[in-house]
Structure 1
Amino acid sequence: MAAATTTLFFDLDGTLIDSAVGITRCVAHALTRMEQPVPPESELRRWIGPSLRTSFGPLFSQPEQVERAVEHYRERFESHGWAEHEVYGGIEQTVESLHAAGYRLAIVTAKNEPHARKIIEHLPFGHRFDDVIGSTMDGSLSDKPELIAEALRRFSLDAQDCWMIGDRRMDIEGARHHGMRNIGVLWGFGGEEELRLAGAQRLAEKPEQLPGLTAA
């Protein structure tokens, strides 16, 4: 049985859901609207994880252009992209198992909070998460260390009482910034090398391993 104070912060994209189709199509839509070349699928997948402004920033010389690109992305995401995802196999059962074991569960994602909440509300296990912490629409809160800090603030928690679980280096680096225990998952978009280089304490090859890794 998990201690009552143990909280698990889950990343969303690449950890709970495979959102590659929705994200890459929305990026392609934004680039097309901004009259920018659309890179191949393999390169578009690198956009999954960082904040939108971080990814769009190097492509444009003016902040106003970055904001327009973000708006174009959101335009398609709100109409189509939010639903273009699949839940990873084993995730629902794992979430239910962790909840039954007494863990508090929450989402910490660089996706903007309204979009993240919409997705979580439509997942069959979404009600198991006590809160969704995401980026602000204006980008003032978007980096993982800041998002984790906001999650700790909302729950009035110490970092030592929590775990961060995610598929990208940003999840691991954000956790390490706060001295938080962390698990890198290998079914997402980062991969083992990226997670190890980021300093992941533990790695999970499949969702079913998470209860054992958090209890050990």
Structure 2
Amino acid sequence: MKPIILFDLDGTLIDSTEAILESFHHSLHTHGNRTDVSDTMVTSQIGHPLEVMFSAVGIDPSMIDAHVSTYKLFYREIARQKTVLLPDASTAIREASAFARLGIVTTKTGLYSRELMEHFELMEYFEVLIGREHVENPKPHPEPIWTALEQMSGKRETAWMIGDTRLDIEAAKRAGIESVAVSCGYDNEKQLLTLTNIIKPNALEAVRYIAKRG
């Protein structure tokens, strides 16, 4: 039986920091011209749902939906031009597909994520893509992982999660599957060490670690 490997996207396979920041600031400007939100404030929240990100920078709850909607419309326009694959991500996906079944579990909008992976000509390697709109509870809740496994008819005992933030690792722990953290994304090694000591520099090394584990 082949193992299942579930990948996070941002900071694990792709770098869409520029698109995220530009879309976030565009939304802030559209709904009140907020100029006090730094890039660091935004990037520290990447991995969380958009509604949480806007709440974290002090947006009034009554305005969060409007901010999210504006962000999404703008992000979709610029995402392909301002998103790149991380180094060795393509190789990681291809090597993983040789011995495992693959899925994507992200807090990004699933529709836009699928369009991005199709743009990179890599979506064909994945059986499922679970995005924010496909679950009620995003990571670190285990629901996104459970949903992916259910759609793949997969067993927790043979499943792995690869991700760059504590949200990914906590979700894997709560879902009852193994995980490998990568330090090429938004959480640093010190932060990741609070939840796991299995940390690799990138997705390719994470895949190779899983391959050796059999």
- CA drift of 1:42 comes to 2.1
Residue 80 of structure 1 aligns with which residue? 78
Residue 193 of structure 1 aligns with which residue? 190
Residue 140 of structure 1 aligns with which residue? 136
Q: Calculate the TM-score normalised by the size of structure 2.
A: 0.90
Residue 45 of structure 1 aligns with which residue? 43
Residue 25 of structure 1 aligns with which residue? 22
Residue 206 of structure 1 aligns with which residue? 202
Which runs of at least 4 in structure 1 moved beyond 3 Å after TM superposition? none
Aligned equivalents of 2:106 and 2:207: distance in 1?
Answer: 21
* Matched-pair contact (CA < 8 Å) for 2:161–2:168: yes
* Matched-pair contact (CA < 8 Å) for 2:139–2:168: no
Give 1:182's aligned amino acid.
Answer: S
Residue 126 (structure 1) aligned to one of 99, 107, 123: 123
Aligned equivalents of 2:92 and 2:76: distance in 1?
Answer: 28
Q: Calculate the TM-score normalised by the size of structure 1.
A: 0.89
Aligned equivalents of 2:80 and 2:24: distance in 1?
Answer: 13
Aligned equivalents of 1:98 and 1:65: distance in 2?
Answer: 42
Residue 161 of structure 1 aligns with which residue? 158
Unaligned stretches of 5+ residues in structure 2: none
* Matched-pair contact (CA < 8 Å) for 2:108–2:132: yes
- CA drift of 1:120 comes to 1.2
Unaligned stretches of 5+ residues in structure 1: none
Residue 13 of structure 2 aligns with which residue? 16
Aligned length: 209
Matched, 1:111 2:142: no
The more displaced of 34-43 and 158-167 is 34-43
* Matched-pair contact (CA < 8 Å) for 2:13–2:203: no
Alpha carbon RMSD of aligned pairs, Å? 1.8
SS of the residue 1:25 aligns to? helix
Residue 54 of structure 1 aligns with which residue? 52
The more displaced of 50-59 and 106-115 is 50-59
- CA drift of 1:61 comes to 3.4
> Identity of paired residues, percent?
25
- CA drift of 1:209 comes to 1.5
- CA drift of 1:47 comes to 2.9
Aligned equivalents of 2:8 and 2:36: distance in 1?
Answer: 27
* Matched-pair contact (CA < 8 Å) for 1:136–1:142: no
Residue 89 of structure 1 aligns with which residue? 87
